[in-house]
Amino acid sequence: MNKKETSNLKGARNQNYAGKKMNISENSKKNKDKDLPWWVELLFVQIGLPDKLLIKILKTKKRSKELLKNEKKPLIIFLFIVSILAYFYPVIKHAKNKIDCESMAISYITKNKNINRINKREIKMLSTNFCYGGEEIYEIENLKN
C-alpha cells in the first residue's frame, strides 16, 4: 500500500508540473501576442526614435505611478492649493488694476483740474467713476468755467 501511494504522489507531481508548464507557455504566448500601445507604435516603430528614449519614458512612467501611489495626500493638498490660487487670481488681478487706475486718476485729477475745495473722499469717488467710464470729471470742468 505504501508503494502505491508513493507512486500516485509522483504521478500527481508530474501532472501538476506538466500543467504548470502548459500554463507558463500559454502565458508567454499571450504576452507575445499583446499589441504595442499606439504611441509606441507611432514614435518608435514608424518614426524610428531611439530605444533609449523609450526606456527613459517607461522608467519615468513607473516612477510617477509609484509617486502617486505613495504620496497621495501631499499631492492632493498641492493640487488643492494650486486650484484655489487659480480660482482667485482673476479677482486679485481685477482689484490690482482697479487700485492702479484709481491712483492714476487721482493724480490726473489733482494735476489737471486744480480743484481745491474737494476733499479726499470726493476725489476717490471721482477717480472710481472715471475708471469705470464716467464723465463726471468733465462736468466739474464745465461747472468751473
Q: For 65-83, what is each residue's pLDDT tens digit?
A: 998 889 899 999 999 999 9
Q: Say which residues have a Cβ less than 8 Å from residue 89's Cβ, sequence separation at least 6.
A: none
Q: How far apart are CA 9 and CA 1, in angstroms?
A: 12
DSSP state of 37: P
What total of structural domains would you count in the chain? 1
Q: Are 78 and 72 within 8 A, CB to CB?
A: no
Instruction: Please report whether residue 61 resides in a domain.
Output: no
For the chain, the maximum distance between any two Cα atoms, rounded to a whole number of angstroms, is 130
* Mean pLDDT (whole number) for 43-59: 90
What is the domain range of residue 92? 72-145
CA 10 from centroid of its chain's CA atoms: 60
**10-20 residue pLDDT tens:** 555 556 555 55
**pLDDT score of 144 more than 90:** no
pLDDT score, position 95: 93
Residue 18 falls within a domain, yes or no? no
Residue 142 domain-assigned? yes
